[in-house]
């Protein structure tokens, strides 16, 4: 088997709130391979948000190692973590999280701004990413002028524009109606088909059903990890 | 992330809260404008005083009589009693003037004019007026004090020798006695004695302390004959040095000559004082400098208050945009990127306020303020603008740092 893209090795996360110490993740071992479409499921409080934060390098594990694309990120400082997020990770959040009063084109360009990409290339790549999610005609609209589904597609465009190693989606359909949810999941299917590695966190079974692998979390531990359907799509 | 990108983002941020940005800028605007205007006022008054002192005649020395150095704290009479011989020479007399006119002893003296000042009441066909200065002197006095005759003629050395009762009137005296009438050729009574008006002096305005046009100038001999008495002591001796550079030399020569005529060996016992116009000028200059610095300092405080306003509004902005900061951090903004973004926004606020403040300051400085015509000091413009930028940087640093230090997950969770 090929080397995994991402490895969690006995990762533990605890939050200290005064006297009480809450364990959000305990002894989590996980390997995700390039091209996988993984759904992480679990009830609220199961630790899936914590897992997402650690996978996304927004937070560091209390104990254990996290190796992403060959880099051990467990010991990196703020600046290096920012660079890892910028180069290797694309985020899609439940509440879209676009920058207000900034049009779709500029929102998509933003990660490249921080990466130091030249304006000309930035704008070309942003246009291509918006085209990939079917929003070419909305490039100059501000988020407030877009529907929820459109905003989330802009967010996806922003997530993939830097060609990251992994796309992390945290309840991406949580704020969408049924139709937009369907469209969004189609977009993810398309990304999966084109070979992207996707980790999607959800509590909805029908959303998870689209994934090639489903991991269930409960009480900070992985309780099941099943491969679905064929991985032959890759 | 480069400066251009930060500036674009900052402008966008400022534009999204126009009123708030404008009010914050107003604080800086007032500060910068106040510094420029108040320093200009201080500077203007300093320039005005300097001009007035120069109007007195820049190369002028004035010799005053002081009480003799003997006897310490004793009264005037006491001084005389203890120094019998001193009493006859502790006055300034025409003998002193004659001695000072000796070019070998006082080569740096150009003009010399004995002066007797009296207090008189002038009357002309029912109108009465008391000029603040009534000066009996020689014709050189006009050159020394930079007086010129606007109308009629000046009196001459002949008028002095012939003891002619003629008078030159300042504009203020003319206005008070004659109104709009032409005074030249008229006869005016000073304390009841007839004087013939032969000329009107060109107006000089105030020198800050007194109205230089409230003056009557007559031949000293006429004053001795009619008002003061033949052996009257001189009020002062007004001297013009050959040049500005020769002032101290001239002052030294005058002192030496007068010590001789007054038979005083120890200069610290001198019964006269030589007042140097240049010294007066520098004293006035330093007083004005203190005044200007004080005004500037008051204005600088308002600039500081403006800076606190910037900090306040930046803290609000950072709080409001916490979520945006979280998004930016999640997609790869480094600490420095966020710091730069908010710092640029703060500096932009103060720079824009500063530019408008400079313009406002320059406009207001064109108006006469409390009788002073402001003279804008270029350094104050540069200083005020520079301080405005520094204030933006300084007061922007804390909020920007706070934004940069936010942890992405917490910032993202912020509603």
Average pLDDT over residues B137-155: 90
Q: How confident is the model at residue A3, as a pLDDT?
A: 84
Q: Is A48 near chain B, with CB under 8 Å?
A: no
Q: Is A144 near chain B, with CB under 8 Å?
A: no
Distances (CA, A) of B232 to A7, B81, B156: 114, 20, 22
B87-122 in b/e form (b: 16+ CB < 10 A) is eebbbbbeebbebbeeeeebebbbbbbbbbbbebeb
Q: How confident is the model at residue B71, as a pLDDT?
A: 38
Q: Which residue ranges in chain A fall short of pLDDT 70? A: 1, 229-234
Q: How confident is the model at residue B76, as a pLDDT?
A: 40
Is A138 inside a domain boundary? yes
Is A127 inside a domain boundary? yes
pLDDT at B80 exceeding the cut of 60: no
Q: How confident is the model at residue B57, as a pLDDT?
A: 67
Is A22 inside a domain boundary? no
Whole-angstrom distance, CA of residue B404 vs CA of residue A208: 36
Is A69 inside a domain boundary? no
In this predicted model, what pLDDT tens digit does every residue of B92-109 receive, in sequence order? Answer: 888 888 888 888 888 999
Q: Is A118 near chain B, with CB under 8 Å?
A: no
Q: How confident is the model at residue B179, as a pLDDT?
A: 87
CA B374 from centre of chain:
11
Is A233 inside a domain boundary? no
In this predicted model, what pLDDT tens digit does every residue of B42-74 receive, in sequence order? Answer: 988 888 887 777 766 668 888 988 865 443 333
Average pLDDT over residues B229-233: 79
pTM of this prediction exceeds 0.95: no
Average pLDDT over residues B162-169: 92
CA angle B341, B331, B15 (to 5 degrees): 35
Backbone φ and ψ of A161, nearest 5°: -65, -25
CA B346 from centre of chain:
39
CA B303 from centre of chain:
26
Q: Are A110 and B328 in contact, with CB atoms under 8 Å apart? A: yes
**B27 CB burial (10 A radius; 0-12, 13-18, 19+):** buried
CA A184 from centre of chain:
14
Backbone φ and ψ of B336, nearest 5°: -65, -35
Q: Cβ contacts (< 8 Å) between B336 and chain A: which residues?
A: 79
How many residue pairs from chains A and B have C-beta atoms closer than 8 A? 59
Contact check, Cβ <8 Å, A82/B333: yes
Contact check, Cβ <8 Å, A99/B328: yes
Is A151 inside a domain boundary? yes
Q: Is A163 near chain B, with CB under 8 Å?
A: no
In sequence order, what E strands does B79-120 have? 109-118
Q: Is A79 near chain B, with CB under 8 Å?
A: yes
DSSP state of A14: E
In sequence order, what E strands does A33-165 have? 37-41, 63-68, 71-72, 89-92
Is residue A114 classed as helix, strand or coil in its secondary structure? Answer: helix
CATH number at residue A51: 3.40.50.300
Percent of chain B residues past pLDDT 90, beyond the cut: 47
In this predicted model, what pLDDT tens digit does every residue of B334-348 receive, in sequence order? Answer: 999 999 999 999 999
Contact check, Cβ <8 Å, B409/A79: no
Is A66 inside a domain boundary? no
In this predicted model, what pLDDT tens digit does every residue of B300-322 receive, in sequence order? Answer: 899 999 999 999 999 999 999 99
In this predicted model, what pLDDT tens digit does every residue of B257-269 receive, in sequence order? Answer: 999 888 888 888 8
Which structural domain range is residue A201 located in?
34-58+77-227
Q: How confident is the model at residue A44, as a pLDDT?
A: 86
Whole-angstrom distance, CA of residue B132 vs CA of residue B169: 12
Q: How confident is the model at residue B404, as a pLDDT?
A: 93
Number of domains in chain A: 1
Is residue B230 classed as helix, strand or coil in its secondary structure? Answer: coil
Most B CBs within 10 Å, among A103, A106, A110, to test the B interface: A110
Which chain B residue's Cα is nearest to A98? B327
User: Of A225-229, B154-158, B184-188, B275-279, which gets the smallest average pLDDT?
Assistant: B275-279
The dihedral built from the CA positions of residue B50, B55, B56 and B57, taken in this order, carries a sign that is: positive
Is A117 inside a domain boundary? yes
B357-373 in b/e form (b: 16+ CB < 10 A) is bbebbbebbeeeeeebe
Is residue B406 classed as helix, strand or coil in its secondary structure? Answer: coil
**Element housing A214 (H / E):** strand A213-218
CA A14 from centre of chain:
22
User: Of A144-153, A159-168, B152-161, B353-362, which gets the smallest average pLDDT?
Assistant: B152-161
Q: How confident is the model at residue B324, as a pLDDT?
A: 93
Q: Cβ contacts (< 8 Å) between B408 and chain A: which residues?
A: 58
Contact check, Cβ <8 Å, A78/B335: yes
Whole-angstrom distance, CA of residue B337 vs CA of residue B2: 9
Q: How confident is the model at residue A189, as a pLDDT?
A: 94
Backbone φ and ψ of B356, nearest 5°: -65, -35
Q: How confident is the model at residue B194, as a pLDDT?
A: 92
Q: How confident is the model at residue B345, as a pLDDT?
A: 93
Q: How confident is the model at residue A233, as a pLDDT?
A: 44
Whole-angstrom distance, CA of residue A231 vs CA of residue A35: 9
Whole-angstrom distance, CA of residue B11 vs CA of residue A222: 48
The whole-chain average pLDDT of chain B stands at 86
Which chain A residue's Cα is nearest to B5? A113
């Amino acid at each position: 088997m090929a080397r995994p893209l991402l490895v969690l090795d006995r990762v533990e996360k605890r939050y200290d709130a005064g006297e009480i110490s809450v364990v959000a993740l305990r002894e989590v071992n996980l390997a995700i391979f390039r091209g996988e479409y993984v759904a992480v499921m679990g009830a609220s409080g199961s630790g899936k948000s914590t897992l997402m934060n650690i996978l996304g390098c927004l937070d560091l594990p209390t104990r254990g190692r996290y190796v992403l694309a060959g880099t051990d990120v467990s010991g990196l400082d703020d600046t290096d973590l920012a660079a890892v997020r910028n180069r290797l990770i694309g985020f899609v959040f439940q509440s879209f999280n676009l920058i207000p009063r900034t049009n779709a084109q500029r929102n998509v360009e933003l990660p490249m701004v921080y990466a130091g990409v030249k304006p000309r290339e930035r704008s070309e790549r942003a246009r291509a990413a918006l085209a990939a999610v079917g929003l070419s005609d909305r490039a100059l609209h501000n988020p407030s002028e877009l529907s929820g589904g459109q905003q989330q597609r802009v967010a996806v465009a922003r997530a993939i524009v830097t060609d990251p190693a992994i796309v992390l989606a945290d309840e991406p359909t949580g704020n969408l109606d049924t139709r937009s949810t369907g469209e969004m999941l189609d977009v993810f299917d398309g990304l999966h088909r084109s070979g992207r590695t996707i980790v999607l966190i959800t509590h909805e079974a029908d959303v998870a059903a689209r994934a090639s692998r489903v991991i269930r979390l409960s009480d900070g531990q992985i309780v099941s990890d099943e491969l679905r359907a064929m991985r032959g799509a890759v | 992330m480069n400066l251009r990108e930060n500036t674009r983002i900052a402008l966008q941020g400022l534009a999204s809260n126009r009123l708030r940005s404008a009010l914050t800028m107003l604080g800086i605007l007032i500060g910068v404008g106040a510094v420029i205007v108040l320093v200009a006022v201080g500077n203007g008054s300093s320039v005005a005083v300097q001009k007035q002192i120069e109007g007195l005649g820049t190369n002028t020395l004035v010799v005053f009589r002081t009480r003799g150095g003997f006897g310490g704290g004793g009264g005037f009479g006491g001084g005389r009693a203890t120094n019998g011989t001193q009493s006859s020479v502790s006055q300034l007399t025409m003998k002193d003037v004659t001695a000072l006119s000796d070019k070998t002893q006082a080569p740096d003296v150009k003009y010399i004019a004995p002066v007797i000042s009296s207090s008189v009441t002038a009357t002309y066909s029912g109108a009465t007026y008391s000029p603040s200065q009534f000066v009996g002197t020689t014709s050189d006095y006009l050159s020394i004090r930079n007086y010129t005759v606007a109308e009629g003629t000046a009196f001459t050395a002949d008028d002095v020798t012939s003891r002619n009762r003629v008078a030159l009137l300042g504009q203020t005296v003319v206005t008070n006695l004659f109104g709009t009438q032409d005074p030249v050729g008229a006869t005016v009574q000073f304390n009841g004695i007839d004087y013939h008006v032969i000329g009107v002096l060109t107006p000089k305005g105030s020198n800050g302390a007194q109205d230089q046009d409230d003056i009557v100038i007559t031949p000293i001999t006429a004053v001795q004959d009619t008002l003061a008495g033949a052996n009257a002591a001189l009020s002062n001796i007004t001297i013009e040095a050959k040049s500005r550079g020769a002032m101290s030399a001239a002052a030294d020569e005058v002192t030496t000559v007068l010590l001789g005529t007054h038979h005083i060996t120890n200069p610290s016992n001198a019964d006269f004082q030589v007042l140097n116009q240049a010294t007066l000028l520098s004293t006035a200059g330093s007083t004005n400098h203190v005044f200007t610095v004080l005004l500037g300092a008051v204005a600088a405080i308002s600039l500081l208050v403006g800076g606190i306003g910037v900090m306040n509004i930046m803290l609000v902005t950072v709080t409001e945009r916490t979520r945006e900061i979280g998004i930016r951090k999640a997609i790869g903004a480094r600490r420095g990127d966020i710091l730069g973004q908010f710092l640029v926004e703060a500096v932009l606020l103060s720079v824009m306020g500063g530019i408008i403040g400079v313009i406002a300051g320059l406009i207001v400085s064109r108006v006469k303020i409390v009788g002073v015509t402001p003279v804008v000091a270029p350094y104050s413009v540069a200083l005020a603008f520079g301080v405005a930028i520094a204030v933006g940087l300084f007061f922007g640093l804390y909020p920007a740092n706070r934004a940069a230090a936010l942890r992405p997950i917490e910032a993202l969770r912020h509603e």
